């Protein structure tokens, strides 16, 4: 009897140990995030450039909802064209609560939604970046400027978020990767001066010849010195 009890206890301990060993692996859930591409770039003053908002996951994962909330300095950058949504989601709302392109406040908001039904299947993210949307900026002021996601790790209306396909959907977004852009001067190099300084070449040749002749006559000459005759000797 005692042997049986010990055997059962040993089995229970073994099962419990295996369970606790597996739990940390199961807890390692897949996450997804946003990345600005390119993350860094040098651009000329008054020039335009594209920034793609991309998505990726730590492993293949279907998602049902993605929301980007971006802020930029409106004194340094402005949105130069309409936001371009990608093809990842079947629905990109354009109402004021889900789509914002505000140059005065320096804010961008765009949302992608999929229902999982026919014609609107859940997109699957992988470790390869895929375009969620694209923004065209115009550089307005010299210096370094940032484009940053609003993110706090919670599923809130004013924050960037990505959710899975569970019911109810669960927040799976990890920290996004912002962008920093260097805006330089648009000044151009002045043209070189004309070869002849804008003067008729014949005049230049004449001036050069005259200078050489005068110099030849004015240079001191070596040779026998001349004796000066005084008035007494002349008589």
Q: How confident is the model at residue 219 (pLDDT cuts 50, 70, 90)?
A: low
Q: Whole-number mean pLDDT of the chain? A: 80
Q: 7 in a domain, yes or no?
A: no
Answer yes or no: is 194 within a domain: no
Which pLDDT band, with edges at 50, 70 and 90, does 189 fall under?
Answer: very low
213 occurs within a structural domain: no
State pLDDT tens for residues 4-30: 445 445 454 444 444 434 434 334 599
The answer to whether 101 and 11 have CB atoms below 8 angstroms apart is no
Domain that holds residue 123: 29-175
CATH at residue 138: 2.60.40.680
Residues 129/54, Cβ–Cβ less than 8 Å: yes
Does the CA dihedral 89-93-94-99 come out positive or negative?
negative
Statement: the pTM of the whole predicted model exceeds 0.75: no
For 196, the token pair is: 């002849």
Does residue 99 fall inside a structural domain? yes
What CA–CA distance (Å, rounded) separates 89 from 65?
8
Q: Are 35 and 103 in contact (CB under 8 A)?
A: no
Complete DSSP assignment for 60-106: -EE-SEEEEEEEE-TTTEEE-S--EE-SSSSB---STTTEEEETTTT
In a domain, 131, yes or no: yes
Q: Does residue 23 sit within a domain?
A: no
Task: Render pLDDT for 76-102 as a digit per residue (tens, 0 to 9).
Answer: 999 999 999 999 999 999 998 899 999
Q: Is residue 184 assigned to a domain?
A: no
Q: Both tokens of residue 184? A: 């330089």
**Residue 129 within any structural domain of the chain:** yes
The total domain count for the chain is: 1
Q: What would the pLDDT profile of 113-145 be if each residue is shown by its tens digit?
A: 999 999 999 999 999 999 999 999 999 999 999
């Amino acid at each position: 009897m005692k042997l049986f009890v010990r055997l059962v206890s040993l089995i229970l301990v073994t099962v419990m140990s295996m369970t606790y060993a597996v739990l940390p692996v199961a807890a390692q859930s897949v996450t997804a995030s946003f990345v600005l591409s390119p993350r860094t770039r040098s651009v000329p003053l008054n020039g335009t450039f594209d920034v793609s908002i991309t998505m990726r996951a730590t492993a293949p994962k279907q998602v049902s909802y993605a929301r980007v909330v971006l802020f930029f300095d409106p004194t340094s950058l402005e949105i130069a064209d309409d936001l371009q949504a990608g093809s990842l989601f079947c629905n990109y709302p354009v109402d004021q609560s889900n789509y914002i392109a505000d140059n005065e406040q320096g804010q961008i908001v765009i949302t992608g939604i999929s229902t999982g039904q026919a014609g609107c299947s859940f997109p699957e993210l992988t470790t390869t970046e895929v375009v969620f949307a694209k923004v065209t900026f115009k550089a307005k002021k010299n210096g370094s400027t940032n484009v940053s996601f609003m993110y706090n790790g919670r599923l809130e209306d004013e924050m960037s978020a990505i959710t899975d396909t569970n019911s109810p959907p669960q927040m799976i977004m990890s920290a996004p990767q912002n962008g920093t852009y260097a805006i330089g001067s648009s000044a151009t190099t002045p043209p070189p001066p004309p070869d002849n300084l804008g003067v008729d070449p014949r005049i230049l040749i004449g001036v050069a010849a005259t200078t050489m002749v005068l110099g030849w006559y004015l240079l001191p000459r070596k040779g026998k010195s001349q004796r000066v005759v005084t008035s007494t000797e002349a008589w």
